[in-house]
Amino acid sequence: MRDWAAARTKRLEISGIRKMFELAKPGTINLGIGELDFEPIDEAKQALSKAVNEGHNGYGPTKGMPELRDSIAESLHINRKDVTRENVMITAGATQGLLVSAMALFDHGDEILIPDPGFVLYSPHAIMCGAFPVKYSLKQEHAFVPQPDEILELINTRTKAIILNTPNNPTSGVIDKDTIRAIRDIAIDHDLVIISDEVYDKIVYDGKHYSFLNGDYDNVVYINSFSKSFAMTGWRVGYMASSEELIKDLSKIQYYNIACPPTPLQYACQKAMEAPDNKIDERVNILRKRRDVIVDRINKIDGFTCLKPNGAFYAFPSFDHDILGMDFAMKLLEAGMICAPGSAFGSGGEGHLRFSYANTIENIEKGMDILEQVAGTIPMK
Ligand SMILES: Cc1ncc(COP(=O)(O)O)c(C=O)c1O
Protein backbone atom coordinates (compact mmCIF):
# COMPACT_ATOMS: atom_id res chain seq x y z
CA MET A 1 0.00 0.00 0.00
CA ARG A 2 1.10 3.54 -0.70
CA ASP A 3 2.73 5.28 2.27
CA TRP A 4 0.65 8.41 2.60
CA ALA A 5 2.77 10.17 5.22
CA ALA A 6 4.54 13.29 3.95
CA ALA A 7 8.32 13.47 4.32
CA ARG A 8 7.94 15.91 7.24
CA THR A 9 5.67 13.47 9.06
CA LYS A 10 8.18 10.68 8.58
CA ARG A 11 10.93 12.81 10.08
CA LEU A 12 8.96 13.15 13.32
CA GLU A 13 9.10 10.63 16.14
CA ILE A 14 6.43 9.96 18.76
CA SER A 15 7.47 11.64 22.01
CA GLY A 16 9.34 9.30 24.39
CA ILE A 17 7.16 10.42 27.30
CA ARG A 18 3.93 9.49 25.51
CA LYS A 19 5.35 6.01 24.92
CA MET A 20 5.96 5.64 28.66
CA PHE A 21 2.46 6.81 29.60
CA GLU A 22 0.87 4.31 27.25
CA LEU A 23 2.64 1.45 29.05
CA ALA A 24 1.55 2.43 32.59
CA LYS A 25 -0.63 0.05 34.60
CA PRO A 26 -3.50 1.43 36.72
CA GLY A 27 -2.27 2.42 40.19
CA THR A 28 1.17 3.45 38.95
CA ILE A 29 2.58 6.53 40.74
CA ASN A 30 2.71 9.21 38.10
CA LEU A 31 5.68 11.54 38.44
CA GLY A 32 5.86 11.78 34.68
CA ILE A 33 3.22 14.28 33.77
CA GLY A 34 3.80 18.01 33.30
CA GLU A 35 0.44 19.00 34.68
CA LEU A 36 -0.55 20.37 38.08
CA ASP A 37 -2.88 18.32 40.28
CA PHE A 38 -4.95 21.44 41.08
CA GLU A 39 -8.29 22.57 39.69
CA PRO A 40 -9.03 25.87 37.91
CA ILE A 41 -10.37 28.38 40.48
CA ASP A 42 -14.17 28.43 41.01
CA GLU A 43 -14.64 31.90 39.49
CA ALA A 44 -13.15 30.61 36.21
CA LYS A 45 -15.25 27.43 36.17
CA GLN A 46 -18.43 29.41 36.83
CA ALA A 47 -17.52 31.95 34.16
CA LEU A 48 -17.03 29.15 31.67
CA SER A 49 -20.46 27.61 32.20
CA LYS A 50 -22.02 31.11 32.23
CA ALA A 51 -20.35 31.99 28.92
CA VAL A 52 -21.57 28.74 27.34
CA ASN A 53 -25.10 29.15 28.73
CA GLU A 54 -25.30 32.77 27.68
CA GLY A 55 -24.51 31.84 24.11
CA HIS A 56 -20.88 32.88 23.69
CA ASN A 57 -20.31 29.86 21.55
CA GLY A 58 -19.52 31.33 18.16
CA TYR A 59 -16.34 32.35 16.38
CA GLY A 60 -14.50 35.33 17.82
CA PRO A 61 -11.70 37.61 16.62
CA THR A 62 -8.62 35.80 15.27
CA LYS A 63 -6.31 37.55 17.76
CA GLY A 64 -8.68 36.82 20.64
CA MET A 65 -11.14 38.83 22.73
CA PRO A 66 -10.03 42.48 23.07
CA GLU A 67 -10.88 42.57 26.80
CA LEU A 68 -8.69 39.55 27.52
CA ARG A 69 -5.91 40.97 25.36
CA ASP A 70 -6.15 44.19 27.41
CA SER A 71 -5.87 42.29 30.70
CA ILE A 72 -2.89 40.32 29.42
CA ALA A 73 -1.21 43.48 28.10
CA GLU A 74 -1.62 45.08 31.50
CA SER A 75 -0.20 42.03 33.27
CA LEU A 76 2.86 42.27 31.01
CA HIS A 77 3.60 45.85 32.04
CA ILE A 78 5.94 44.48 34.73
CA ASN A 79 8.16 43.58 31.77
CA ARG A 80 7.41 46.30 29.20
CA LYS A 81 5.29 49.37 29.84
CA ASP A 82 4.41 49.88 26.17
CA VAL A 83 2.56 46.55 25.67
CA THR A 84 -1.01 47.10 24.44
CA ARG A 85 -3.69 44.76 23.10
CA GLU A 86 -2.15 45.28 19.62
CA ASN A 87 0.93 43.43 20.88
CA VAL A 88 -1.03 40.47 22.22
CA MET A 89 -2.65 37.46 20.56
CA ILE A 90 -4.54 34.66 22.34
CA THR A 91 -3.70 31.14 21.18
CA ALA A 92 -4.91 27.58 21.75
CA GLY A 93 -2.32 26.91 24.45
CA ALA A 94 1.35 27.77 24.26
CA THR A 95 1.62 24.74 21.98
CA GLN A 96 -0.25 26.50 19.22
CA GLY A 97 1.58 29.76 19.95
CA LEU A 98 4.86 27.95 19.39
CA LEU A 99 3.61 26.33 16.17
CA VAL A 100 2.26 29.63 14.85
CA SER A 101 5.64 31.25 15.60
CA ALA A 102 7.46 28.50 13.74
CA MET A 103 5.14 28.64 10.74
CA ALA A 104 5.17 32.42 10.57
CA LEU A 105 8.92 32.85 11.00
CA PHE A 106 10.90 29.79 9.88
CA ASP A 107 11.81 29.30 6.22
CA HIS A 108 13.18 26.17 4.59
CA GLY A 109 16.85 25.85 5.45
CA ASP A 110 16.79 28.26 8.40
CA GLU A 111 18.69 27.17 11.49
CA ILE A 112 16.86 27.50 14.79
CA LEU A 113 18.77 27.35 18.07
CA ILE A 114 16.97 25.20 20.61
CA PRO A 115 17.85 24.03 24.14
CA ASP A 116 19.14 20.48 24.68
CA PRO A 117 17.59 19.05 26.76
CA GLY A 118 14.51 21.03 25.85
CA PHE A 119 10.75 20.88 25.66
CA VAL A 120 9.62 18.28 23.13
CA LEU A 121 7.89 20.63 20.66
CA TYR A 122 10.73 22.89 19.58
CA SER A 123 12.60 20.49 17.34
CA PRO A 124 9.52 18.94 15.62
CA HIS A 125 8.06 22.40 14.96
CA ALA A 126 11.27 23.49 13.23
CA ILE A 127 11.33 20.27 11.21
CA MET A 128 7.66 20.67 10.22
CA CYS A 129 8.61 24.04 8.70
CA GLY A 130 11.61 22.66 6.81
CA ALA A 131 14.04 24.39 9.18
CA PHE A 132 16.93 22.77 11.07
CA PRO A 133 17.01 22.61 14.86
CA VAL A 134 20.53 23.33 16.13
CA LYS A 135 21.03 22.46 19.77
CA TYR A 136 22.69 24.50 22.49
CA SER A 137 23.36 22.73 25.77
CA LEU A 138 21.84 23.10 29.21
CA LYS A 139 24.23 21.50 31.66
CA GLN A 140 23.86 20.70 35.33
CA GLU A 141 27.30 22.23 36.01
CA HIS A 142 25.88 25.57 34.75
CA ALA A 143 22.63 25.18 36.73
CA PHE A 144 20.99 24.43 33.35
CA VAL A 145 21.44 28.05 32.24
CA PRO A 146 22.34 28.56 28.53
CA GLN A 147 25.87 29.82 27.95
CA PRO A 148 25.97 32.94 25.71
CA ASP A 149 29.45 31.98 24.36
CA GLU A 150 28.16 28.64 23.14
CA ILE A 151 25.15 30.29 21.51
CA LEU A 152 27.46 32.76 19.78
CA GLU A 153 29.58 29.95 18.36
CA LEU A 154 26.53 28.22 16.86
CA ILE A 155 25.35 31.28 14.92
CA ASN A 156 25.97 31.51 11.18
CA THR A 157 24.29 33.23 8.23
CA ARG A 158 21.48 30.66 8.18
CA THR A 159 20.53 31.18 11.84
CA LYS A 160 17.09 32.77 12.15
CA ALA A 161 15.87 32.37 15.71
CA ILE A 162 16.80 31.34 19.25
CA ILE A 163 14.21 29.51 21.33
CA LEU A 164 14.56 30.01 25.07
CA ASN A 165 12.56 28.59 27.92
CA THR A 166 12.67 29.96 31.44
CA PRO A 167 11.80 28.45 33.93
CA ASN A 168 12.74 25.40 31.94
CA ASN A 169 11.14 22.07 31.19
CA PRO A 170 12.67 19.52 31.79
CA THR A 171 15.57 20.96 33.84
CA SER A 172 13.72 23.59 35.95
CA GLY A 173 16.66 25.91 35.24
CA VAL A 174 15.90 29.62 35.55
CA ILE A 175 17.78 32.12 33.39
CA ASP A 176 19.30 35.03 35.33
CA LYS A 177 19.07 38.69 34.35
CA ASP A 178 22.65 38.98 33.06
CA THR A 179 22.36 35.92 30.82
CA ILE A 180 19.07 37.24 29.44
CA ARG A 181 20.76 40.54 28.62
CA ALA A 182 23.75 38.78 27.03
CA ILE A 183 21.55 36.57 24.84
CA ARG A 184 19.39 39.52 23.86
CA ASP A 185 22.50 41.45 22.83
CA ILE A 186 23.63 38.51 20.69
CA ALA A 187 20.19 38.41 19.02
CA ILE A 188 20.35 42.15 18.34
CA ASP A 189 23.90 41.93 16.91
CA HIS A 190 22.95 39.04 14.59
CA ASP A 191 19.42 40.19 13.77
CA LEU A 192 17.78 37.07 15.20
CA VAL A 193 14.27 36.52 16.50
CA ILE A 194 14.01 35.43 20.13
CA ILE A 195 11.15 33.06 20.87
CA SER A 196 10.78 32.93 24.62
CA ASP A 197 8.60 30.26 26.17
CA GLU A 198 7.77 31.45 29.67
CA VAL A 199 4.81 29.22 30.57
CA TYR A 200 6.22 28.59 34.06
CA ASP A 201 6.83 32.29 34.82
CA LYS A 202 4.52 32.34 37.85
CA ILE A 203 5.96 29.16 39.35
CA VAL A 204 9.18 30.57 40.79
CA TYR A 205 10.22 29.74 44.36
CA ASP A 206 12.93 32.17 45.39
CA GLY A 207 13.57 35.55 43.85
CA LYS A 208 11.89 36.76 40.72
CA HIS A 209 11.25 35.68 37.16
CA TYR A 210 13.17 37.61 34.49
CA SER A 211 11.58 37.82 31.08
CA PHE A 212 13.00 38.18 27.59
CA LEU A 213 10.16 40.63 26.98
CA ASN A 214 11.95 43.02 29.29
CA GLY A 215 13.88 45.57 27.25
CA ASP A 216 13.46 47.34 23.96
CA TYR A 217 14.24 44.60 21.46
CA ASP A 218 11.17 44.28 19.25
CA ASN A 219 12.07 40.95 17.67
CA VAL A 220 10.96 38.95 20.69
CA VAL A 221 8.03 36.58 20.52
CA TYR A 222 6.92 35.98 24.08
CA ILE A 223 4.87 32.84 24.67
CA ASN A 224 2.78 32.12 27.75
CA SER A 225 -0.24 30.09 28.75
CA PHE A 226 -3.02 29.63 31.27
CA SER A 227 -2.19 25.90 31.43
CA LYS A 228 0.35 25.83 34.24
CA SER A 229 -0.22 28.94 36.38
CA PHE A 230 -4.00 28.56 36.37
CA ALA A 231 -4.10 24.72 36.28
CA MET A 232 -6.06 24.72 33.03
CA THR A 233 -4.06 22.44 30.75
CA GLY A 234 -7.17 20.97 29.11
CA TRP A 235 -8.71 24.37 28.42
CA ARG A 236 -6.09 25.08 25.77
CA VAL A 237 -5.68 28.82 26.17
CA GLY A 238 -2.34 30.53 25.81
CA TYR A 239 -1.09 33.88 24.59
CA MET A 240 1.78 35.53 22.87
CA ALA A 241 3.16 39.06 22.86
CA SER A 242 5.38 40.73 20.31
CA SER A 243 5.76 43.85 18.17
CA GLU A 244 2.59 44.95 16.34
CA GLU A 245 4.26 44.04 13.07
CA LEU A 246 5.11 40.50 14.12
CA ILE A 247 1.68 40.00 15.72
CA LYS A 248 0.13 40.87 12.33
CA ASP A 249 2.24 38.16 10.65
CA LEU A 250 1.54 35.66 13.44
CA SER A 251 -2.21 36.33 13.24
CA LYS A 252 -2.22 35.58 9.50
CA ILE A 253 -0.99 32.08 10.27
CA GLN A 254 -3.33 31.79 13.25
CA TYR A 255 -6.32 32.57 11.02
CA TYR A 256 -5.42 29.79 8.58
CA ASN A 257 -4.62 27.47 11.45
CA ILE A 258 -7.51 27.73 13.94
CA ALA A 259 -9.53 30.79 12.78
CA CYS A 260 -9.78 32.01 16.38
CA PRO A 261 -9.03 30.82 19.90
CA PRO A 262 -11.94 29.11 21.75
CA THR A 263 -14.53 31.77 22.64
CA PRO A 264 -16.17 30.71 25.96
CA LEU A 265 -12.82 29.75 27.46
CA GLN A 266 -11.54 33.25 26.94
CA TYR A 267 -14.38 34.58 29.11
CA ALA A 268 -13.32 32.13 31.80
CA CYS A 269 -9.63 33.08 31.54
CA GLN A 270 -10.57 36.74 31.83
CA LYS A 271 -12.35 35.98 35.12
CA ALA A 272 -9.37 33.95 36.33
CA MET A 273 -7.14 36.97 35.74
CA GLU A 274 -9.56 39.33 37.52
CA ALA A 275 -10.21 37.06 40.53
CA PRO A 276 -9.13 38.65 43.84
CA ASP A 277 -7.31 35.44 44.79
CA ASN A 278 -6.03 33.41 41.85
CA LYS A 279 -4.45 30.94 44.34
CA ILE A 280 -1.10 31.03 42.53
CA ASP A 281 0.96 32.01 45.60
CA GLU A 282 -0.75 29.36 47.74
CA ARG A 283 -0.06 26.73 45.09
CA VAL A 284 3.57 27.75 44.67
CA ASN A 285 3.96 27.28 48.44
CA ILE A 286 2.52 23.76 48.18
CA LEU A 287 4.89 23.00 45.31
CA ARG A 288 7.84 24.40 47.29
CA LYS A 289 7.20 21.88 50.09
CA ARG A 290 6.97 19.03 47.58
CA ARG A 291 10.16 20.21 45.89
CA ASP A 292 12.02 20.16 49.18
CA VAL A 293 10.83 16.60 49.91
CA ILE A 294 11.71 15.18 46.50
CA VAL A 295 15.10 16.88 46.19
CA ASP A 296 16.07 15.75 49.67
CA ARG A 297 15.03 12.15 48.97
CA ILE A 298 16.80 11.99 45.59
CA ASN A 299 20.06 13.41 46.96
CA LYS A 300 20.12 10.70 49.64
CA ILE A 301 20.25 7.99 46.95
CA ASP A 302 23.73 6.81 46.02
CA GLY A 303 24.82 8.06 42.61
CA PHE A 304 22.14 10.76 42.27
CA THR A 305 22.74 14.52 42.20
CA CYS A 306 19.73 16.80 42.14
CA LEU A 307 19.85 20.61 41.99
CA LYS A 308 17.08 22.43 43.83
CA PRO A 309 14.68 23.76 41.17
CA ASN A 310 13.99 27.47 41.43
CA GLY A 311 11.10 27.35 39.00
CA ALA A 312 8.60 25.00 37.29
CA PHE A 313 7.92 21.67 39.04
CA TYR A 314 10.47 19.16 37.79
CA ALA A 315 13.38 17.51 39.58
CA PHE A 316 16.01 16.67 36.96
CA PRO A 317 18.76 14.71 38.72
CA SER A 318 21.79 13.16 37.09
CA PHE A 319 22.64 9.54 37.91
CA ASP A 320 25.96 7.66 37.87
CA HIS A 321 24.41 4.25 37.26
CA ASP A 322 25.55 2.15 34.31
CA ILE A 323 22.28 2.25 32.40
CA LEU A 324 20.57 4.38 29.74
CA GLY A 325 17.88 6.74 31.00
CA MET A 326 15.17 5.04 28.97
CA ASP A 327 16.04 1.62 30.45
CA PHE A 328 16.18 3.12 33.94
CA ALA A 329 12.74 4.70 33.45
CA MET A 330 11.37 1.38 32.15
CA LYS A 331 12.63 -0.41 35.27
CA LEU A 332 10.94 2.23 37.42
CA LEU A 333 7.74 1.83 35.43
CA GLU A 334 7.80 -1.94 36.00
CA ALA A 335 8.26 -1.24 39.72
CA GLY A 336 5.23 1.07 39.77
CA MET A 337 6.34 4.66 39.00
CA ILE A 338 6.27 6.75 35.85
CA CYS A 339 8.99 9.31 35.28
CA ALA A 340 10.48 10.65 32.08
CA PRO A 341 13.97 9.74 30.88
CA GLY A 342 16.00 12.92 30.31
CA SER A 343 16.85 11.63 26.83
CA ALA A 344 13.17 12.12 25.82
CA PHE A 345 14.09 15.83 25.75
CA GLY A 346 17.20 15.46 23.58
CA SER A 347 20.52 13.68 23.73
CA GLY A 348 21.77 16.27 26.24
CA GLY A 349 19.27 14.84 28.73
CA GLU A 350 20.92 11.39 28.77
CA GLY A 351 22.11 10.48 32.26
CA HIS A 352 19.16 12.29 33.85
CA LEU A 353 15.62 11.41 34.87
CA ARG A 354 12.78 13.92 35.14
CA PHE A 355 10.36 13.67 38.04
CA SER A 356 7.35 15.97 38.09
CA TYR A 357 6.42 16.83 41.67
CA ALA A 358 2.90 17.90 40.72
CA ASN A 359 1.68 15.13 43.00
CA THR A 360 0.91 14.62 46.68
CA ILE A 361 3.75 14.30 49.20
CA GLU A 362 2.47 10.81 49.97
CA ASN A 363 2.84 9.76 46.31
CA ILE A 364 6.19 11.52 46.01
CA GLU A 365 7.44 9.55 49.06
CA LYS A 366 6.13 6.28 47.57
CA GLY A 367 7.77 7.11 44.23
CA MET A 368 11.06 7.85 45.95
CA ASP A 369 10.89 4.50 47.81
CA ILE A 370 10.62 2.84 44.40
CA LEU A 371 13.52 4.90 43.03
CA GLU A 372 15.70 4.02 46.01
CA GLN A 373 14.92 0.33 45.70
CA VAL A 374 15.39 0.12 41.90
CA ALA A 375 18.55 2.30 41.91
CA GLY A 376 20.08 -0.09 44.46
CA THR A 377 19.85 -2.95 41.95
CA ILE A 378 21.74 -1.14 39.14
CA PRO A 379 25.56 -1.13 39.15
CA MET A 380 27.43 2.17 39.05
CA LYS A 381 29.59 3.14 36.08
C1 LIG B 1 8.03 24.55 28.34
C2 LIG B 1 6.64 24.31 27.89
N3 LIG B 1 6.12 25.06 26.92
C4 LIG B 1 4.88 24.87 26.46
C5 LIG B 1 4.08 23.89 26.98
C6 LIG B 1 2.71 23.69 26.43
O7 LIG B 1 1.78 24.45 27.13
P8 LIG B 1 0.24 24.52 26.72
O9 LIG B 1 -0.50 23.56 27.58
O10 LIG B 1 -0.13 25.93 27.00
O11 LIG B 1 0.13 24.20 25.29
C12 LIG B 1 4.56 23.07 28.01
C13 LIG B 1 3.76 21.96 28.54
O14 LIG B 1 4.22 21.06 29.19
C15 LIG B 1 5.87 23.28 28.47
O16 LIG B 1 6.39 22.53 29.44
Instruction: Give me the mean pLDDT over the 329-355 stretch.
Output: 96
| CA separation for the pair 247, 237 (Å, rounded) | 17
Q: Is it the case that residue 17 has pLDDT exceeding 90? A: no
Q: Which of 98, 168, 227 to mutate to test the pocket of ligand 1 (most atoms within 8 A of CB)?
A: 227
Per-residue pLDDT, 228: 94
Per-residue pLDDT, 30: 94
Q: Which of 18, 164, 169 to mutate to test the pocket of ligand 1 (most atoms within 8 A of CB)?
A: 169
Using a 6 Å cutoff on CB, does residue 94 contact ligand 1?
A: yes
| CA separation for the pair 223, 299 (Å, rounded) | 33
For the chain, percent helix, then strand, then coil, each to nearest 5? 45, 15, 40
| CA separation for the pair 336, 128 (Å, rounded) | 36
Q: Which of 18, 225, 226 to mutate to test the pocket of ligand 1 (most atoms within 8 A of CB)?
A: 225
Kindly indicate the confidence band of residue 16, based on its pLDDT and cuts at 50, 70 and 90. Answer: low
User: Mutual orientation of helices 263-274 and 42-53 as an angle, nearest 10°?
Assistant: 150
Ligand 1 centroid–CA 279 distance in Å is 20
Using a 6 Å cutoff on CB, does residue 163 contact ligand 1?
A: no
Ligand 1 centroid–CA 45 distance in Å is 21
pLDDT digits (tens, 9 = 90+) for 27-73: 899 999 889 999 999 999 999 999 999 999 999 999 999 999 999 99
Ligand 1 centroid–CA 273 distance in Å is 19
Per-residue pLDDT, 356: 97
Nearest CA to ligand 1 atom 7: 94
Q: Which of 96, 119, 232 to mutate to test the pocket of ligand 1 (most atoms within 8 A of CB)?
A: 119
Which residue ranges make up each domain of the chain? 7-40+279-375, 42-274
Q: What percentage of the chain exceeds 90 in pLDDT? A: 91
**Higher confidence at residue 269 or residue 24?**
269
Using a 6 Å cutoff on CB, does residue 119 contact ligand 1?
A: yes
The candidate with the shortest Cα–Cα distance to 358, out of 311, 314, 295, is 314
pLDDT digits (tens, 9 = 90+) for 177-205: 999 999 999 999 999 999 999 999 999 99
Q: What mean pLDDT is reported for the chain?
A: 95
pLDDT digits (tens, 9 = 90+) for 261-318: 999 999 999 999 999 999 999 999 999 999 999 999 999 999 999 999 999 999 999 9
pLDDT digits (tens, 9 = 90+) for 113-162: 999 999 999 999 999 999 999 999 999 999 999 999 999 999 999 999 99
Using a 6 Å cutoff on CB, does residue 199 contact ligand 1?
A: yes
Using a 6 Å cutoff on CB, does residue 238 contact ligand 1?
A: yes
**Higher confidence at residue 33 or residue 223?**
223
Q: Is it the case that residue 89 has pLDDT exceeding 90? A: yes
The CATH code of domain 42-274 reads: 3.40.640.10
Per-residue pLDDT, 162: 98
The count of other CB atoms within 10 Å of the CB of residue 11 is 13
Q: Is it the case that residue 14 has pLDDT exceeding 80? A: no
Q: What's the CATH superfamily of 7-40+279-375?
A: Aspartate Aminotransferase, domain 1 (3.90.1150.10)
Instruction: Give me the mean pLDDT over the 102-112 stretch.
Output: 97
The candidate with the shortest Cα–Cα distance to 169, out of 27, 10, 354, 22, is 354
pTM given for the model: 0.96
Q: What percentage of the chain exceeds 70 in pLDDT? A: 99
Using a 6 Å cutoff on CB, does residue 339 contact ligand 1?
A: no
Using a 6 Å cutoff on CB, does residue 165 contact ligand 1?
A: yes
Ligand 1 centroid–CA 203 distance in Å is 13
Q: Three-state SS string across 296-349, please?
A: HHHHCCCCEECCCCCECCEECCEECECCCHHHHHHHHHHCCEECEEHHHHCHHH
Closest ligand 1 atom, residue 119 Cα: 1
